[in-house]
A and B are shown apart, each in its own frame.
Chain A
Amino acid sequence: MRKVSYYPGCSLEGTARDYSESIHAVCRELGIDLEELEDWNCCGATAAHSIDHEASIELAGRNLTIAASKGQDLVVPCPLCFNRLKTAEKARSFYNQKTGILDLADFMSRDDILDLIESRVTRPLSGIKAVCYYGCMSSRPPGITDAAACENPTSMDRIMDRLGAEVIPWSYKTDCCGASHVIARQDIVLELVKRLYAKADAAGANCIVVSCQMCQANLDMYQEKICRKFETEYYLPIIYFTEMIGLAMAHRGVKTWFSRHFVEPDRLLAEAGLV
């Protein structure tokens, strides 16, 4: 049993319930014990760093203070939370973690965990042609994230490869989806996401694999609207990499997780012969 501290972030209690459910299910199967930080608070997200710099460091930092007492690595599924926690760690020496703050996808793509994942695959994902979409915050800026290859991250690509999927290279892995602009400036998000669909489609993908719940929401919830607005036709399920791991393990939770998607993956699974 491997034990790590876990900071879920607010979205995983709401819009990203499927992400949360699949993370817990898959980690349980892999013998990874996620110890949720007690009484954690919101990292402050985009709002805090935009209009209250001091609060953005202190909000994130409070969680680091809680994590420090645990003496084990802190794993963070939400790339924005990850980025804000890393920013606080680097901004104030007293928040400095003796243990690591890890992006979940990075953590899950370590060699030993990859081997573990591969050993549990009972239904290889042949027929899945995936582009992995990382978004901004787990990579940039590398001075904060310590990302090894911030312009070309490979964590999810390596996981998908072990699951037996066809992993398609593309140049839009870390392009922005517009994130929280979806509320006040939705036009910006629709424009950016339209471009991502077009590039994924041109690369020959039949789905987009993600590790960020903001990216998932923006690409999944508005697909129909974007197709209508720009008179295009795409069917691109937006699937968390943890859901993909669960799918390859034939986990019984998959059906529930996928029922929470707006672009339901049923047709993809049928076409790929994975039902």
Chain B
Amino acid sequence: MENTNDALHIEPAWLGEVEKETGIGVSACYQCKKCTNGCPVTFAMDIYPDQVIRLVQMGQKERVLSCSTIWVCSACETCTTRCPNGVDVAGVMDYLKETAVRRGADIPQSNTYTFHRTFLDEIRKLGRISEAGLIRNYMLKSGVLRKRLQDGSLIGDLLLGWSMFKKGRMNLLPKKIKARGEISKILK
């Protein structure tokens, strides 16, 4: 019988795959929820960190890869630090983000993903990050620039940028490193 309900679609082999690729013992989790209780950003998540881990254990791949939580995680490492079973929860979140990108479907927190992608593009170009260039290119690529132009909120961003410039906290002449060839090999 074919089941089209993603929530019930289970890939039992996935847990082993995740553990093998990350070296993280996800199956050691016994759901004490210490990760979720210490997490500072649960208020912005659609499912809790302990549920992410449980769903990985259960092979609910599609459901985990399409959740917002993995992108809302701020990588503060509190969960990883406190887990009594040594599960690197934040490391699992990273693995899931990378897997979600690789599978090609829509990313629920697309601006966060666009920010990361733009960040890596900037490193590829310069070898370092120029914050001014990063923000400008992020706003162009994500469509945030157009949206803020339309709703009139761009003025706030411009004023902040101007203040940063006046205070000498914005570097408009980014330094390029010499070894950019090496960097672009790393970031293929």
Contact = CB atoms under 8 A, between A and B. Distances in A.
B75 A59 contact: no
Given A42-B128, A184-B142, A47 B43 contact: no
Given A14-B131, A15-B131, A184-B142, A178 B41 contact: yes
Given A17-B168, A41-B179, A184-B142, A50 B127 contact: no
A45 interface: yes
Contacts of B105: none
Contacts, number: 156
Interface stretch (B11-19, B28-36, B53-61, B94-102): B94-102
Contacts of A221: 160, 164
Contacts of B179: 39, 41, 62
Interface stretch (A97-105, A125-133, A158-166, A187-195): A187-195
B72 interface: yes
A70 interface: no
* Range of interface residues on B (Cβ < 8 Å): 35 or more
A51 interface: yes
Interface in A254-275: 259-262
B171 interface: yes
Given A13-B171, A136-B77, A48 B120 contact: yes
B128 A140 contact: no
B164 A15 contact: yes
A154 interface: no
SS class, residues of chain B in contact with chain A: helix
Contacts of A51: 97-98, 101, 113, 116-117, 120
Interface string B39-81: 0110110000000000000000000000000001011111011
Interface string B108-125: 010111111101100100
B129 A180 contact: no
Contact of A49 (B75, B112, B186): B75
How extensive is the interface on chain A, given as a class?
35 or more
A50 B94 contact: yes
A42 B129 contact: yes
A45 B115 CA distance: 12
Contacts of B101: 51
B95 A184 contact: no
A55 B186 contact: yes
30 contacts: A10-B129, A14-B129, A14-B132, A15-B131, A16-B169, A39-B179, A41-B128, A41-B177, A44-B120, A45-B129, A46-B116, A48-B123, A55-B120, A55-B187, A58-B186, A59-B123, A59-B183, A62-B179, A136-B74, A136-B75, A137-B77, A141-B88, A174-B78, A176-B76, A180-B115, A183-B115, A185-B109, A192-B41, A221-B164, A261-B167
Given A14-B169, A47-B116, 7 more contacts: A39-B179, A45-B129, A140-B78, A141-B80, A178-B74, A180-B115, A184-B114
